[in-house]
Amino acid sequence: MRYQPLPVKYVEPIYRPPSEAGSLILQVTIGCSNLLTRPDPASATGYRVRRGCAFCVAYQTKPFRARPRAEVLEEIDRVAVVAPDVRRIFLADGDAVVLGTPRLLEVLERLTRRFPRLERVTAYAAPRNLLKKSVDDLRRLREAGLTMVYLGIESGDAEVLERIDKRSTAEQMIEGCLKAKAAGIALSLTVILGLGGPDRSRRHAEATAEVINRINPEYAAALTLMVEPRVPSFEQVFGDPGFRVLEVPEALAECRHLIAHLDTDGTELRSNHASNWLALKGRLNRDRERLLTTIDEVLGDPDSPRLRPDYWRAL
């Protein structure tokens, strides 16, 4: 953006999808609803905090809460004074769709009114919170300006989803996404290569492809698991003492297996996230064979210059 500094107040750290690099980030919630504090009389503090999905280190320092309504609306008005030409806005933090429909509609309507050149508004969404809204509610949000949601599928394998504490089944994710599609909201889905370890690699890839096929999203992205320090650790939550992170050839083979089982019409596929060793992009099903050929060529050449050095993946 050309307008700096913007009069915004953030509770850091802030996370956003790579494709929202040029967007105004508006924090309407703080943290992630999967880390919601719960009363716990047995705890020394009187409450406990969910640690969220086993692989995730985001929002660990921020208990979830909705940002005060008046504070959000006032911030929109302040930004509009100095940056009225904003075209793209991302609603943070981890799951803005958890807010009630009337609250979201008020935010979207204020954005549309204050930013006349606004082209799109996007947000992260948790599957369970899409499920809580009716198709009519979602359609009203779309008509008010919510154009796309980013949703972490992670895996289609029931055992993997349970072990990572995703709190949603594959069927629930499919149902929630299809409700959003019926309302006209575009979908950008992410999956995580290596999430099941070497033992469940093929099952993880095949089941994940099945979920994507049934949803047929506009966008899909494959990330690669990077186990970061957190409490409890990924290994503790996952509950498999034999789990290990995939080696490079194993991760590439799993990516190949995933793509080979994808069958969608027009989905833009990416694996160019910083966590990935091999950057890929293409449109399914049109480019599937080209993508598979690229993976095969790299698998046949361990020294391929297409492979990212491991230090490039230091997120």
Contacts of 26 (CB under 8 A, 6+ apart): 8, 72, 75, 76, 79, 89, 90, 91, 92, 107, 111
Which range is least confidently modeled, 101-110, 203-212, 301-310?
A: 301-310
pLDDT at 1: 42
Q: Is 30 exposed, middle or buried (0-12, 13-18, 19+ CB in 10 A)?
A: middle
pLDDT at 38: 57
Instruction: Tell me which H or E stretch contains 108.
Output: helix 101-114
Q: Is the pLDDT of residue 58 over 80?
A: yes
Per-residue pLDDT, averaged over 271-292, amounts to: 95
Per-residue pLDDT, averaged over 287-296, amounts to: 98
pLDDT at 301: 96
What share of the chain has pLDDT > 70, as a percent?
Answer: 93
pLDDT at 47: 47
Which range is least confidently modeled, 40-54, 146-160, 175-189, 261-275?
A: 40-54
Rounded CA-CA distance 214/176 in Å is: 12
Per-residue pLDDT, averaged over 113-118, amounts to: 97
* pLDDT interval class at 45 (50, 70, 90): very low
Amino acid at 285: N
pLDDT at 16: 92
User: Alpha carbon 27 to chain centroid distance?
Assistant: 16
pLDDT at 72: 97
Are the C-beta atoms of 94 and 128 separated by less than 8 Å?
A: no
pLDDT at 282: 98
pLDDT at 3: 43
Instruction: Tell me which H or E stretch contains 238.
Output: helix 234-238
pLDDT tens-place string over residues 162-191: 999 898 999 999 999 999 999 999 999 999
Residue 72 Cα distances to 69, 77, 95, 247, 291, angstroms:
5, 9, 16, 45, 43
Strands 219-224 vs 186-193: parallel, antiparallel or unpaired: parallel
The better pLDDT of the pair 263, 230 is held by 263
pLDDT at 136: 98
Rounded CA-CA distance 75/248 in Å is: 45
pLDDT tens-place string over residues 269-281: 999 888 999 999 9
Q: Indicate the fold that domain 18-305 takes in CATH.
A: pyruvate-formate lyase- activating enzyme (3.80.30)
Per-residue pLDDT, averaged over 42-47, amounts to: 52
